[in-house]
Amino acid sequence: MQKYRCIPCGYLYDPEVGDPDGGVAPGTAFEDIPEDWVCPVCGVSKDMFEPEE
């Protein structure tokens, strides 16, 4: 699955890990994260993430 990086802070969302503290279970694709989810490090919205190369 595709990983996504937060542009402002560099946090890497790894779908294999998810964001359990943010309510996102391991195995959740970035596209399937709720729209109101925010970066657990800096608090920006999903639209501030880009696919990791």
Residues belonging to the binding site for Fe cation are: 6, 9, 39, 42
Q: Is the dihedral of CA 39, 42, 45, 48 positive or negative?
A: negative
Residue that the structure tokens 């970066």 belong to? 39
| Residues pairing with 2 in the sheet | none
Show binding-site residues.
6, 9, 39, 42
